[in-house]
Amino acid sequence: MNHMLPLRVAALVPCWFGIITVWTATTCGLYGGDLYVNNATGDDLRNGRSPESKGAAAGPVRTIAQALRLAKSGDRIVLTKTAEPYRESLTLQASNHSGLLGSPFEIVGNGATLDGTRPVPAGAWQHVRGDVYRFRLRKKAFQLLYLNGQPASRREVPETRELPDLKALEYCLLKGDLYFRAAPGKAPGEHNLRHTALPVGITLYEAREVIVRDLVIQGFQLDGINAHDGVFGAQLTGLICRGNGRSGISVGGASRVLIENCLVGNNGIAQVRTEGSSITHLVGNDLIDDGRVPALLRRGGKVHIQASEPAAPEKPEPVPSPAKSP
């Protein structure tokens, strides 16, 4: 962690400059503001600085990506939970998406869902036999199929690499194709089928003092969240990361990440994945080991696990969602 870095720097210079440094680090949060996002009533032509539309310019934006374009260091992006998921792939990088000690850059989900799936085009299916169909995947690795908004039941392919006997509504991945058995007498286009399409829900790269909380992240081809490299002081709190093709959360490079009170399950090869020289702190999480996919896959880095956080300080009040428009 780099939390003490401003004090170490201050110790090397005259006392008066150290006082200014510490004052700057602890008071810059006064300049951070809130940006509001509503994918039902927002408009990316607005400034995002108000939860309700006011005049021609003030009001929430429609996309998180636009809020990130408008954001400054230490800002807080507040999502409204609506009936529709936010279907975006996001990157938080460098100073505009970083905070300072005591003034973090935040994404507050308020229980909203960030979803990376896309519909399977009805015309993409090719008949194989009986009720079994297939479609060719553009991205071959780490694919999942969704049925009615949830990961469908997947059948593992045997070592012989032959098509298994799929039950109704099961699928498998074989030689770059996705095979699906429809319900008797139905075609795949009569089912609500989507597949993991967007690569990563939230990528963190060279970002400092970032908090992402209270968000459902699902349906991405690789990871729900990927702290790629150079991420310090990051906190992932109260997240649900499920149904992603590779992992729910991946921490790599030289990143330092705290993951707390998260539910992570039903991901492709690992719930949490680490690599490089990263350091990951796991506190009070529910990482589901279903016997097929491990709770933790370590390919490098250090991991510190704590079942629950002792004597935690009082949590801040949740950020209220903007009132719904009549």
DSSP string, 218-235: E--SSEEEEEEES-BSEE
Q: How far apart are CA 253 and CA 269, in angstroms?
A: 19
Residue 150, domain member (yes or no): yes
- Of 196, 231, 251, the last residue of a domain is 196
Same domain, 207 and 267: yes
Residue 19, domain member (yes or no): no
Name the pTM for this structure: 0.83
Same domain, 125 and 112: no
Give ∠ CA 274-276-278 in degrees, rounded to 5: 65
Residue 11, domain member (yes or no): no
Query: Which residues of the chain register pLDDT less than 70?
Result: 1-31, 308-326
Residue 14, domain member (yes or no): no
Token pair 């399977």 in the structure block, residue: 120
Same domain, 154 and 295: no
DSSP-derived 3-state class of residue 10: helix
Residue positions counted in the chain: 326
Token pair 């905070």 in the structure block, residue: 99
pLDDT at 324: 53
Same domain, 162 and 219: no
How many separate domains does the chain show?
A: 2
Same domain, 126 and 110: no
Same domain, 300 and 273: yes
- Of 163, 196, 229, the last residue of a domain is 196
Same domain, 135 and 159: yes
- Of 174, 196, 218, the last residue of a domain is 196
Q: Beta strand pairing status for 170-174 and 177-181?
A: antiparallel
Same domain, 238 and 127: no
Residue 177, domain member (yes or no): yes
Same domain, 203 and 302: yes
Residue 18, domain member (yes or no): no
Q: How far apart are CA 300 and CA 221, in angstroms?
A: 22
Q: Give one word for 111, left, alpha or beta, with left for phi > 0 and alpha for psi -120 to 50.
A: left
Same domain, 88 and 156: no
pLDDT at 101: 87
- Identify the domain containing residue 274 by its residue range: 32-116+198-306
pLDDT at 121: 85
Residue 9, domain member (yes or no): no
Whether 109 and 37 have beta carbons less than 8 Å apart is answered as: no
Same domain, 191 and 55: no
Same domain, 222 and 99: yes
Residue 37, domain member (yes or no): yes
pLDDT at 138: 85
| Tokens read off for 67 | 């809020």
How many helices (H) and strands (E) would you count in the chain? 3, 24
Q: How far apart are CA 208 and CA 225, in angstroms?
A: 15
